[in-house]
Structure formats: structure tokens, C-alpha cells
A and B are shown apart, each in its own frame.
Chain A
Amino acid sequence: MGNIDGAYLVLSALLFAIGGAGLLVRRNPLVQIMCIELMLNAVNLTFVTFGRMLNSITGQVVVFFVLVVAAAEVVVGLGIVVAVARRRPGATSDDISLLRG
């Protein structure tokens, strides 16, 4: 354990910001899902780093649950994307308002 823990935290902050900016900028819903994955991974890295800083296994346990939630989120998100793209091919995230009915 050294000062390199701070570097891990800085890296995950940068990754989180990149993912967030991409989520706000891109219009392709699939790329937006990828940006969400990027943000979740940045948070995972933070959890594992905290686990090492605090000498606790709980950080790694929480990462496990984040992984499961990410998998569920991707499955449902891709289902929505496919459902919208079937009605309107080439749909962007603006077309998600189709879900209203």
C-alpha cells in the first residue's frame, strides 16, 4: 500500500467523467449504454481501491453486486433499444419517447 492508491482514484474519476460526458453527448443509444458501462467500471475500480485502502473485503463484495446490476441493466436496455429500433430504424435516443405509446 502506497501513495499509488490516489492514482487509482484519479484514474477512476477521469473514466467516470469521460463516460458521463459521452452519455450526454452521443445520440446512439448503444453508445450511450457503453458509456454507462464505462461509468460503472470506474466506480468498480474505486470500490476495489477503497477496499485495499481500508483493508476490507467488502469493497470487492459490492463490486460483485454492481456487476450483476450492470448485466441486468444491459439486458433490459438492449431490449428497449431493439423494440424502439424495430418501429423506427436508425432511431436515436430522442426517439425513446415512442415508448409513451
Chain B
Amino acid sequence: METAIFVVCAAICLSGGLGVVFSRNPVHSALSLVATLFGIAVLFLNLNAQLLAAVQVIVYTGAIVVLIVFVLMLLGVDREEDLDTEPLVGQRQLALVFAVVVVGVLLALFTFGGREVVTGQRQAATSPDAISATESNIAQLGGELFTDWVFALEVTAGLLTIAVVGAVLLSRRPDRPQPIPEPESMADQGDEPLLRSGEGE
């Protein structure tokens, strides 16, 4: 059963990935990306990572892809792209060589290096953070996050705040009429009534 689900989802993931790269229309690329992310979510379920499957659907297909499609529509770039011309000579060939080398090296590693080389396992599998059979996936993941990984979690909160502030700064419209003198004029407006009232007395 697991193998059957894996085969179906692997086909969906690979066709979606190829669709992202080879679609002329960026919107089609985004929809292919949704297919791939959904297939990976089902594979997470297959691997007994139920919480991650839900988060994958919510965060990726619910937030990130929607954000990408929003920007796509905002910029009005939903037009076909000319994929036939090649601006840099040999770019596609080099990219193909890169892909083949990556896959080849990884496959050679999986084939010839054993399980210890691939996973980096040094000791026996009885570690304190072993996946428990009794506790639910979400309870164990939450417990791990708020005990061993709590510092990384806090840093993550800082990272998200910085990202939001950076996005606001980057996407602010720069050609607003006189954006820089605005605080000074506001400060003047605050000062002038005081001065006038002082003069009146």
C-alpha cells in the first residue's frame, strides 16, 4: 500500500516539478508547484509525519503559493515567456550537466555508500528523541520544539519579524511626493501653535 501511494505521489511530484521549469506561462508554473507540494504533503503522511503534512498544505499551498500568485497578478506578468531564445550561450547545456551531476553523485552515494554513510548514523538507534509509538506525532513534535529546540524557535520568531519589516521597507512606493520632509513639516505643525500662543501672550 505504501509503495502504491509512493509511486502515484512520486509521479505527481516529478511531473509538477518539470511543469514548474518548462511552463511558458508563470501561472502554470505556480499551479504545477501546487501539485508538487501536495504530492510531498501526501508523502509526509506516508512517512508518518502527520503534523508536517498539514503544515505543508497550510503554509505552502495556502500561503506561499497564494503570495506568489498575488505578486504575479500584481505585476501583470501573466503572459507567455519566450523559452526558445537562449540569451547566454550554453546555459541550458550547463544547467543540464549540473542536474545530471547532482543526481549522479547522489545516486552513487545511495547505491555504494551504505545506510551508515547516507544517514550519518554512528550509534544505535535508541536515542532519547526516538519516534514514540504511544505519543501522537504533534505532541512529540511540540514537546521537542519547546524543550531541546526552544532557542532556535525564539530566533525563528526574530527572523520572521525581520522578514516582515524588510518586506514592508522594500515594497514601499519610493516615488511618493516628498517622502523625506514629511516628519519635519509635522514637527513644525506641532511647534508653531505653541510659538504663536507664546507671542500672543
Contacts and interface: CB of A to CB of B under 8 A. Distances in A.
- Asked if A and B are interacting partners, one says yes
B103 A17 contact: yes
Interface string A6-27: 1111110111111111101111
Nearest to B76: A89
Given A61-B149, A71-B63, A71-B160, A9 B170 contact: no
Given A34-B29, A64-B52, A13 B102 contact: yes
B14 A14 contact: yes
A82 B160 contact: no
A48 B68 contact: no
A73 B68 CA distance: 12
A27 B6 contact: no
User: Dominant SS at the A interface?
Assistant: helix
Contacts of B189: none
A16 B37 CA distance: 13
Given A28-B26, A55-B125, A82 B71 contact: yes
Interface in B151-168: 152, 156, 159-160, 162-164, 166-168
Contacts of B3: 4
Interface in A53-92: 53-58, 60-61, 63-65, 67-76, 78-83, 85-86, 89-90
Contacts of A22: 17, 20-21
B173 interface: yes
B6 A38 contact: no
Contact of B74 (A17, A73, A82): A82
A71 to B, nearest CB: 6
A70 to B, nearest CB: 7
Interface string B129-170: 111000001001100110011001000100110111011111
A64 B163 CA distance: 17
The 9 closest A-B pairs by CB, nearest first: A79-B170, A22-B21, A72-B163, A24-B95, A13-B106, A21-B99, A17-B99, A79-B167, A18-B17
25 contacts: A11-B14, A11-B43, A13-B106, A17-B103, A21-B98, A22-B17, A25-B92, A27-B81, A31-B26, A38-B17, A44-B52, A52-B48, A56-B130, A61-B145, A67-B56, A68-B156, A73-B163, A79-B167, A79-B168, A79-B169, A81-B71, A82-B171, A83-B171, A89-B76, A90-B77
Interface of B: 2-3, 6, 10, 13-14, 17-18, 20-21, 26, 29-30, 33, 36-37, 40, 43-44, 47-49, 51-52, 55-56, 59-60, 63-64, 67-68, 71-72, 74-77, 81, 87, 91-92, 94-96, 98-100, 102-103, 106-107, 110, 115, 118-119, 121, 125, 127, 129-131, 137, 140-141, 144-145, 148-149, 152, 156, 159-160, 162-164, 166-171, 173-174
